[in-house]
Amino acid sequence: MSVRPQPRPGVMQIEAYVPGKSAATGVVKIHKLSSNETPLGPSPKAIEAVKAANHFELYPDGSVARLREAIAGKFGLDPNRILCGAGSDELLSLITNAYVGQGDEGIFSEHGFLVYRIAILAAGGTPVVAKEKDYKTDVDAILAAVTPKTKIVFLANPNNPTGTYVPFDEVKRLQAALPPHVLLVLDAAYAEYVRKNDYESGLELVATSENVVMTRTFSKVYGLANLRLGWMVAPAHVIDAVNRIRGPFNINGPAMAAGIAAIQDDAHLAKALAHNDQWLAWLTKEIEALGLKVTPSVGNFLLIHFPKEAGRTSKDADAFLTSRGLILRRIDAYGLPDALRLTVGDEEANRLVVSALREFMSGKPHA
């Protein structure tokens, strides 16, 4: 008999999620480009809404009614089919806990978001990885991985950390070919940034299907990552199931107020998207001109591939950039040990990154 409480089998085999680093020793000024945060920050209206929040002694509205209504008004949805969470991460875990159990399987793509694996394992299920093609999700590979044990399929669209996306026709083909009891979760955390005509976040598919959920976040383009706020839209029966295991007050009042203000500030959203359009293209062009491969991205980040030669590896580049206060994301855990992920930053950070990479690739001594 154990001398202390023990986690249930499998819990200690889960590799905990490790966020992007945010500090560097001995550097005066840091440019954190490791977590895909918006360089413009949140809407000023959202900041004012948080400042105006009060009555901290009272519980928040457990139904999150006003925020759900604001989201519904923005996207033309039924507020009763919206559920909010402490970031889309919480929602992904809640969905998995509601539909995956011991012996069940959950599928995600080869370089998909690490939280999918964690959520499946935490629920007692078995993660199943579908190979990608050229860093893009392969619908046929996902379908080939489906078995009678499959209960859930996660599709990050766009995908993090690759920045690639699945055209909507392919998403519809995936849903049509899945068994009707398999839940398709469309993780659209970066949907706002996409400028492709053949892309859709999934709202239409959720509205016309009984087995599709779409999750979104306020952490990226809306700049509310610190407040932990996300939402999902789903069929009524899925909302009912997830609500039964959701914490009764999982969204705090200041976060609700900020979310309402942020989603209604179209001018700030447009400014953030214009900034990303300009600098995503600029960074791609400038970094490729240095001889480095960049996976085409539709998000607010880039996947930069480094050679395996001594002194030029991703590990070498990471150390070199960090010494200059430029913090990118190592993505070894995603099966991409030869790449770094770069968030689109402000103008100063973007120009500094390109300048530092130019120095790194030129062969100058590493500081």
Helices (runs of H) and strands (runs of E) counted in the chain:
12, 15
pLDDT of residue 153: 98
CA torsion 89-92-97-102 (nearest 10°) is -110
Instruction: Give the Cα separation of 197 and 195 in Å (integer).
Output: 7
Nearest to 250 by CA among 232, 230, 274: 230
* Residues contacting 1, CB < 8 A, separation 6+: none
pLDDT of residue 9: 83
**Between 3.40.630.10, 3.30.310.160, 3.40.50.300, 3.40.640.10, what CATH number should domain 44-265 receive?**
3.40.640.10
pLDDT of residue 365: 46
Asked whether the beta carbons of 231 and 215 are under 8 A apart, the reply is yes
Q: What kind of fold does domain 11-41+267-362 have according to CATH?
A: Aspartate Aminotransferase, domain 1 (3.90.1150)
> Residue 322 pairs with which residues in a beta bridge?
none
pLDDT of residue 367: 45
pLDDT (tens digit, 9 = 90+) per residue, 223-238?
999 999 999 999 999 9
Instruction: Give the Cα separation of 216 and 88 in Å (integer).
Output: 6
Per domain, the residue ranges of the chain are 11-41+267-362, 44-265
pLDDT of residue 13: 85
Asked whether the beta carbons of 134 and 168 are under 8 A apart, the reply is no
Q: Do 11-41+267-362 and 44-265 come out as alike in CATH topology?
A: no
Helix (H, G, I), strand (E, B) or coil at 88: helix
- Counting as low any pLDDT under 50, the low residues of the chain are 365-367
Instruction: Give the Cα separation of 80 and 63 in Å (integer).
Output: 10
